[in-house]
Structure formats: structure tokens, C-alpha cells
Amino acid sequence: MSFHSSNEIILLNSVTAIFIFFLGFYVLYPNSKRKIQKYFGILCLLLGAWFQSFILREIVPSWSYNWLINWGLIPSIPIPYYLFKITSSYDQHEQQSKKPRKVFHTLNFLLICFFSFHAFSLQTLRISSNSSRNFSFESGSVYKILLIYSLCMVILSLINLAFNVMRKRGRAKTNALLLFLGLIPPIISVLIFIYIRPLYGVFSGGYTVIGFIFGILIWPIAIMNCDAFQLRQFPTYPKERVLTRITKPAFNFLYSIVDKKAWMSEVFSKNIHFMKLTLIKDAELKDHYGYSFMKRSSILARMFGTTLNNF
């Protein structure tokens, strides 16, 4: 691999890994109470660790590639499963786990453990050629089964999102569409650099990150404006997180396009709630303290000024 190609891969994966690590810790900290927060945070950390392996591949001596390509594969193994869990729980309709679902999750856990142990034992991939410009690897049946398993989980995730785009309304519909759109670039990138090119003896997995760069620009809009992150907008409640405030305009714009009726209804409900709070507080100031109209107006403006700026 050329010097310039190595620098490109190191730069691309470094920047993306840092951002994804930050996003993962940001979602998990200080305390993730919802399952989707934990799933997305773990997914980000796994992606960051996987991208780090591509950086190491450009730095470490060539004799260690066999260890690196196997151990570097381990963080990527649970990614499709956590992706499926996110697409199954993002609308926050928590349901009691049924027996078939428990069996499904148990089977996934066992498969992930098996694939991880197989890779840890350096049996999944083997370096077949290692020149100064490029290298290639050989894979056995376990790696092919792993690829099929990953592909099936991603397809199930897309089916989940497609059904929710068609069936859901409001925020859930908008979130499903954003997650669906955010999955397309990474899927194309993985298909090209992880599935197709290795079939022709060309391994350039370090460029897989290109698709994820576009994906992670879309995912935070959906995740940070999901019901799990929906914080109250009035002063008596906790303030919204910074990333939620940054991504909210883009989310609301798409929300108003995807389901304008639901969006207008939510805006109307929020306005009603705001007016109720204002009238209640105005009555308290008048009855309990006997303040004049101008005095009450000044107090209410200070109390709800931040909220008025968000309307």
C-alpha cells in the first residue's frame, strides 16, 4: 500500500473514530436510563474500536497482520446485532420480552461469542500474501457464515425501519426514515470494501469508514431527537442537551415534511401547554402577591424568555 494511501486511511479512520467515540460517551454519560441510549452508545464504541484496527494496520509491522486482522474483527462482530436492537426499540414502545424473542437474543449472544472466540484464536482469517504494496487474506467457512449472519441482521434492521416508515406516525415515522437513510451509505461502503473487493483478492477495508462518515452525520439527528432524548423545554425541567439543540432544527424540518399533520398537532399541543403554564403563573403572581400587570409581565418574560426564543 502506498504512503499516500496509508495517510488517507489513518486520517479518515482517526477523525471518524474520535467523533464516534465522543458520540458514544456523550450518549452514555452521565447515566443512560433508556435501552436505546445504551444500545447506541455501545454501537458507537464498537465502531470506534473497529476503525482503530484499520489505523493500526497501517502502523504495525507486517508480520503482526495475522493477529491484527483477526483481533480487529472482534469489535465488528456485535455491530449488526446492536443495530437491530436500535431499530427495534427506538420508538420507545417498551414491550415485555416474549419467549421467542428471548430465544432469538440468546441465539445471537451465542453466535457472537462463538465468532469472537474463533477470531481471538486466529482461525477466522489468514494472511495469504503480504507484499510491500498490498496484502490479501484467506477465509474459511466460519468467516463466510459470519458475513451471512451480519447481512441477515442488517436486512432485518432495514425491514424494521421500512415497516415503521410505512406504519408509524409523527416522531417515530421521522426517526425511522432518518435511521433508514443513515444506514444506506455505511451498507454500500461495507458491501464494496468488506464483501465484494476481497472476493477479487483486493482488501481495502480501511476505506469502509467513508460510508460511515455520511451515516454519522444523519444518525445523531434521529437518535438525539428520539423520544428517549426528548427533554422538557420549560424552565422547571432539565435543559436540553447541546447536541439535541444543535440537531433539533434539522429534525423538525424533516418532521414537518414527513408528517406535517402530526408535526402541527405537536406544535399546537406545545403552545397550549406553554400558555397554560403562563396563565397559571400569572394567576399566582396576581392572587398571592398582588403584582401589577406590568410587574407580572416583566417576571413572566424573565421566567419564560428562553422558551419563547425556541418557538
Residue 299 burial (C-beta neighbours within 10 Å; 0-12, 13-18, 19+): middle
Smallest Cα–Cα separation from 16: which of 140, 185, 175, 157?
185
> What Cα–Cα distance (Å) separates residue 68 from each residue in 10, 65, 82, 227?
15, 5, 23, 39
102 phi/psi in degrees, rounded to 5: -65, -40
- What 3-state DSSP class applies to 70? helix
- pLDDT the model gives residue 94: 47
- pLDDT the model gives residue 71: 92
Smallest Cα–Cα separation from 82: which of 153, 183, 11, 134?
153
- pLDDT the model gives residue 159: 92
Residue type, 187: I
pLDDT tens string for the chain (311 positions)? Answer: 444 467 888 888 888 889 888 888 887 776 666 777 788 889 999 999 999 888 887 788 877 888 888 999 999 999 999 999 988 876 555 455 455 678 889 999 999 999 999 999 988 888 776 554 556 677 789 999 999 999 999 999 999 888 888 888 888 888 888 889 989 999 999 888 888 887 776 767 788 888 888 888 888 888 777 654 443 444 444 566 777 778 888 888 888 888 888 878 877 777 777 788 788 887 888 887 778 888 888 887 777 766 655 55
For 3-229, give the CATH class. Answer: mainly alpha
Instruction: Provide the percentage of residues in the chain whose pLDDT is more than 90.
Output: 19
Written as nine digits, the cell of 253 is: 424540518
- pLDDT the model gives residue 133: 52
